[in-house]
Structure 1
Amino acid sequence: MEKIVTVYTQPSCPPCQIVKQFLNHHHISYIEKDISIDSEARDKLVYELESTSTPTITVDDQVVTGFDLKKLEELLGL
């Protein structure tokens, strides 16, 4: 069963670009939420996921804050 991956991002975030490249390289589809223009996503990031930084990635119900490719590989079974 495919995992649901969401990437909370914003412009001018080099680690966000690297995470998206990593996911694309591994052919993992994801939903991108740009918190600079999506206030609902920004509120979810801060209040539900308790994060104030990008990238923040959710893999199903697991949260990865920041540039942690090792944890992403583990959660995605890579």
Structure 2
Amino acid sequence: MEPIILYTQPDCPPCELTKLYFKDKGIVYIEKNVKKDKQAFQELTKKYKSYSTPTVIIGEKVITGFNLNEIENELSRHMS
């Protein structure tokens, strides 16, 4: 399975909820802070066409916001 990528920024409560969810479930992910990392911002906006955080990348699926149902659905598809 490809690594899960989480695009975040400081002072983003939904980003913190997403990180807590992943931690509670023992899910390994790569965090990319779009405020500190210009390359991460470019990836988020150009490659994934997203301008919001959190944005979660699971495989080819792009999930914007803390959309728990969508995150769980994609995780179950990729971990089975």
Tell whether 2:20 aligns with 1:18. no
Overall identity of the aligned pairs, in %? 38
User: Could you tell me whether the CA contact under 8 Å between 1:9 and 1:56 is conserved in 2?
Assistant: yes
Runs of 4+ in 1 over 6 A off after TM superposition: none
Structure 1: runs of 5 or more not aligned = none
Q: Give the structure-1-normalised TM-score.
A: 0.93
**Per the alignment, in what secondary structure is the counterpart of residue 5 of structure 2?**
strand
Instruction: Give the root-mean-square deviation of aligned CA atoms.
Output: 1.3
- Give the structure 1 partner of residue 75 of structure 2: 76
Structure 2: runs of 5 or more not aligned = none
Counting only pairs closer than 5 Å after superposition, residues 1-78 of structure 1 correspond to structure 2 as 2-77=1-76
| Residues paired across the two proteins, number | 77
Amino acid at match of 1:45: L
Residue 65 of structure 1 deviates from its aligned partner by: 0.7
Tell me which protein shows more helix as a share of its residues: 2
Deviation per CA, 1:41-74: give whole Å up to 9, x if none: 0001011100000000001211101110100000
Residue 29 of structure 1 deviates from its aligned partner by: 0.2
Residue 25 of structure 1 deviates from its aligned partner by: 0.6
